[in-house]
Structure 1
Amino acid sequence: MTTQRSAYRASILHSIADPKEVELEQSYQYFEDGVLVVENGHVIDIGPATEVLARHSPSMPVTSYQNKLITSGFIDTHIHYPQTGMIASYGEQLLDWLENYTFPEERRFKNPIYAHKVAKLFLDELASNGTTTALVFGTVHKESIDVFFSEAEKRNLRMIAGKVLMDRNAPDYLTDTPESGYQASKDLIEKWHQRGRLLYAVTPRFAPTSTPEQLATVGKLLEEYPDVYLHTHLSENKKEIEWVLDLFPERDSYLDVYDHYGLLHKRSVFAHGIHLSDCECERLAESESAIAFCPTSNLFLGSGLFKLTKLEEKGVRVGMGTDVGAGTSFSILQTMSEAYKIMQLQQEKLHPFKSLYLATLGGAKALHLEDKIGNLAIGKEADFVVLDLHATQLMRFRMQQTITLEEKLFVLMSLGDDRTVCETYIYGDKAYDANPSLSKHPEKKVVNIA
């Protein structure tokens, strides 16, 4: 971690409140010529350049950017690191997709060498897309999580991850038992949870792949370690829901299965939640659980249209998730674009400032980490991204046609992708640099900060 005080000068935009809860102009801060000051891994000042620079020593190093926008690092609330190698697999819906693509690929993670290779690539991709925090699925293999956390620790990342739990309805080579899954999870929690910036998530894959006995052990872990996360899937696909109700006929709903075993609490994050009843939404809100909105995978697998307005009206916390590899991009910018289209298909609008909120501060709130990350407020951890508003010829031309900040942000989320990410900073240190001055089409360069 760099301890020296450093400043970064560019246009600065960050979310400070949910646009649904305040007037739109009160939901963000924007400084057309702004300065962000970082020291010891935290933000210590932010504001208009003339005011901020006057408050600090003239000898303070200042990095200045042209046609760039600094914003808070993106937060991905649902992603699978073992599915990196099977992204863009053709032609299936959820259950067949798991059987034909996911399970065979995850088998390879029994080998720590392969797991380490993928973990490095995965974390490099996150950095090059401006994602600084993620809630991450591993595999059933304990080794896959040891490897992931080891690599994340080298990079000083705030990452949340967990070993997958499955004791039925999966290939024998990917199943554990209630006892072995419980003990392995317990060992990993003791080793990694709250170690540096790392956090642990107890991770049953989804209700169909866990017996009642295993779900009971998940509830036991949450009782024993009340500050860990619960990360699983919920109501992604209609056939999946029918299967759950067949497997648990005594329960009223898919969510009720999890609720019965004590899996709903303030750090529970459920991916998808497309087909939820009013009662399920109300119970999620009551328990302070969150839903990860994963638009690219929902479209790719034909799962359905996420009911953002309904969930928010019920008071459910929502973050943005890429869901790689059913999701087709590591880019939160592209995910924001697909989220807009999901809402359009329901004759609703998703405002650019709301998208920014979901991708940053909303994600932090979904993870109950808004005191540490999610925007660039003074005291927050200095995870931020520098975006190039002229990353492509088309973006440069289109930006010249914009008048308002709202227009610029909408162009950014509509046309932006990994090429837009100029630099990514983790806890005040540069973790990724696209080297835009070297060539017209620079190669990605992940900076070794180990």
Structure 2
Amino acid sequence: MSIAPSPTLQAYRASVLHFHADPAFSDQAFDWFEDGLLLVDGGKVVAAGDFAKLAPALPGGLAVLDYRGKLIMPGFIDTHLHFPQTDMIASPAPGLLPWLETYTFPTERRFGDPAHARGVAEFFLDELLRCGTTTAMVYCTVHRESVDAFFEASAARNLRMVAGKVLMDRNCPGFLRDTAEGGVRDSEELINKWHKRGRALYAITPRFAPTSSPAQLQLAGELARAHPDTFIQTHVSESDAECAWVKDLFPGARSYLDVYDGFGLMRPRAVFGHCIWLDGPDFARMAETGSAAAVCPTSNLFLGSGLFDFDRADAAGVPLSLATDVGAGTSFSMLQTMNEAYKVARLKGSYLPAVRMFYLATLGAARSMQLEGTIGNFAPGAEADFIVLDPQATPLLARRAQRCAKLEELLFALALLGDDRAVLATYSAGVKVHQRR
């Protein structure tokens, strides 16, 4: 292999890990180069491989940034979280619905103010980058200003982000209520303004079935058909009380998920948060339509919503990813989210190896979003969003890492003991956007 000289070529030496299949279904799911090299040019991946094999092909005089002793992997992808809920994270409530009424809706009221929305968006994105998350699927509020503020802050950092205006025309405070026609009209105007502008992508975002009328859901489905390369994001089957409410509101639907299906909101690039109380036909329908589940373990434990069934979802072939669900989720860190996902799986009688949790937070998420080849691994031509993990970040993690004989053990230690401190650096399109102090 020969590598052409380029004034923008960058080389990074470290242990390098990335995925090309789901470890649950493949014995050759990833490439791990213990002494590896990642090559980046113009914000895109050129190659990833063994240092000994790639180094001789480097142009003379190229400086190699030495991260030996660290682990380079694709940036984390968080498929479900709410940027307006940043300031109300860790707010106490006995369940989902009272939590929404007491904290969420009053907090979101302020996001019609562009200055407030921009300030929260700036902090939110910096926090994601500090935790190694380079892409996220983000809920804004009903206010158009919140979407503009988010994408403006994201564009300033050149991040690959997905976001959308919440649609909500009933069963919510009047100060957050849009209309069926007005909400969808605003969404289409925001699609035309932001979708595929730079690295921005748009998600059609009904908050959840109880807060959208049938008319609004019908129009949202029509909008999704008119813009098939946009995303759809919403909540489904998060808590038993919520499921009972949906049954009363939509008595003709077979299930909560069937409400969305009936309005044309299930398709590739549709990502459903939670999916705890789905039954067998629901999971089968998700797989059939290419819809994906965003698993939110810290949020589900915090609100007491329930435990996601990994085995049932895997048996049906549903695309899966992990998500923080900030602010019901209690950490921006995908490492902390893996920690809780492992425990949720154990409580449901299944087992998540660490290597699979890292897959779900990278390539698995990219596949759920239909973005494989763009983000999620180090395939040549993919966008160079990556992180540098430090196994010596804390005294306990360093002590445990010294005794790790296998990659699985090291990844497990990072997932169970790591947090934002384990992220030494974060790169977006080949540019460093976070450095741990």
For 2:305 and 2:321, the matched residues in 1 are separated by 18
| Alpha-carbon separation, structure 1, partners of 2:260 and 2:91 | 30
- Contact kept? 1:177, 1:214, Cα under 8 Å: yes
User: Which residue of structure 1 lines up, in the alignment, with residue 325 of structure 2?
Assistant: 323
The answer to whether 1:381 aligns with 2:383 is: yes
Aligned to 1:13: 17
What is the root-mean-square deviation in Å for CA atoms of aligned residues? 1.0
| Residue aligned with 2:161, SS | strand
1:312 to 306, 311, 314: 314
Distance 2:66 2:249 in 1: 59
Deviation at 1:58, TM superposition (A): 2.5
TM, length-normalised to structure 2: 0.98
Q: TM-score w.r.t. structure 1 length?
A: 0.95
Deviation by residue 1:190-234 (Cα, 9 ceiling, x = unmatched):
000011111000000000000001001101111111111110000
AA aligned to 1:310 is R
Say which of 395, 403, 406 aligns to 2:405: 403
Q: Which amino acid aligns with 1:22?
A: S
Residue 404 of structure 1: CA displacement? 1.1
Q: Which amino acid aligns with 1:184?
A: D
Residue type of the partner of 1:5? L
Contact 1:16 1:28 in 2 (8 A): yes
Q: How many residues align?
A: 432
Q: Distance in 2 between matches of 1:211 and 1:250?
A: 14
For 2:8, give the aligned amino acid.
Q
2:385–2:427 CA contact under 8 A, matched in 1: yes
Q: Does 1:4 align with 2:8?
A: yes
Q: Is the partner of 2:266 in helix, strand or coil?
A: coil
Structure 1 CA distance for aligned equivalents of residues 246 and 320 of structure 2: 23
Provide Cα deviations, 1:383-441, integer angstroms capped at 9, x if missing partner.
Answer: 0000111000111111111111111111011101000000000001001011xxxxxxx
Provide the secondary structure at the position in 2 that maps to 1:182.
helix
For the 8 Å contact 2:310–2:350, the answer to whether it is kept is no
Q: Is the 8 A contact 1:3 1:40 kept in 2?
A: no
How far 1:3 sits from its partner (Å)?
6.5
1:29 aligns with 2:49: no
| Map of 2:84 onto structure 1 | 82
Pairing of 1:79-158 with structure 2 (within 5 A): 79-158=81-160
- Once residues 61 and 247 of structure 1 are traced to their aligned partners in structure 2, the CA distance between those partners, rounded to angstroms, is 62
Does the Cα contact within 8 Å between 2:88 and 2:107 map onto a contact in 1?
yes
**Other-structure match for 2:162:** 160
Distance in 1 (alpha carbons) for counterparts of 2:242 and 2:21 = 35
1:319 counterpart SS class: strand
Distance 2:418 2:235 in 1: 28
In 2, Cα distance between equivalents of 1:338 and 1:133: 20
Equivalents in 2 of 1:349, 1:418: separation in Å? 25
Distance in 1 (CA, whole Å) between partners of 2:141 and 2:131 is: 23
Task: Name the % identity.
Answer: 53
Q: C-alpha separation between the residues in 1 aligned to 2:367 and 2:197?
A: 21
**1:223-275: CA deviation from partner (whole Å, max 9, x where unpaired):** 11111111000000001000001001111111111111111111110000000
Distance 1:49 1:241 in 2: 53
Give the Å deviation of 1:155: 1.0
Matches within 5 A, 1:336-347: 336-347=338-349
Report Cα offsets for 1:47-88 as digits up to 9, x if no partner. Answer: 111211111113112100132110110000001000000001
Contact residue 132 and residue 157 of structure 1 kept, 8 A: yes
> Counterpart amino acid of 1:121?
F
For 1:366 and 1:185, how far apart are their aligned partners in 2?
22
Check conservation: 1:3, 1:41, Cα contact below 8 A.
no
CA deviation string 1:333-366 (max 9, x = no partner): 0000110000111222101111011010000000
Aligned to 1:248: 250
Report the secondary structure of 1:390's partner residue. Answer: coil
Q: In 1, distance between residues paired with 2:377 and 2:105?
A: 37
Look up the match of 2:3: none
1:278 aligns with 280
| Alpha-carbon distance in 2 for matches of 1:255, 1:189 | 25
Larger mean CA deviation between 129-138 and 56-65 belongs to 56-65
Residue of structure 1 in register with 2:210 after alignment: 208
Tell me the CA shift for residue 90 of structure 1: 1.4
The question of 1:299 aligning with 2:301 is answered: yes
Cα deviation code 1:156-177 (max 9, x no counterpart): 1110000000000000000000
Gapped regions of structure 2 (runs ≥ 5): 1-5
After alignment, is 125-134 or 55-64 more displaced?
55-64
**Residues in 2 aligned to 1:255 and 1:87: alpha-carbon distance in whole angstroms:** 27
CA distance in 1, matches of 2:287, 2:257: 12
Q: Decide which of 55, 58, 76 is 2:57's aligned counterpart.
A: 55
Which residue type is aligned with residue 359 of structure 2?
Y
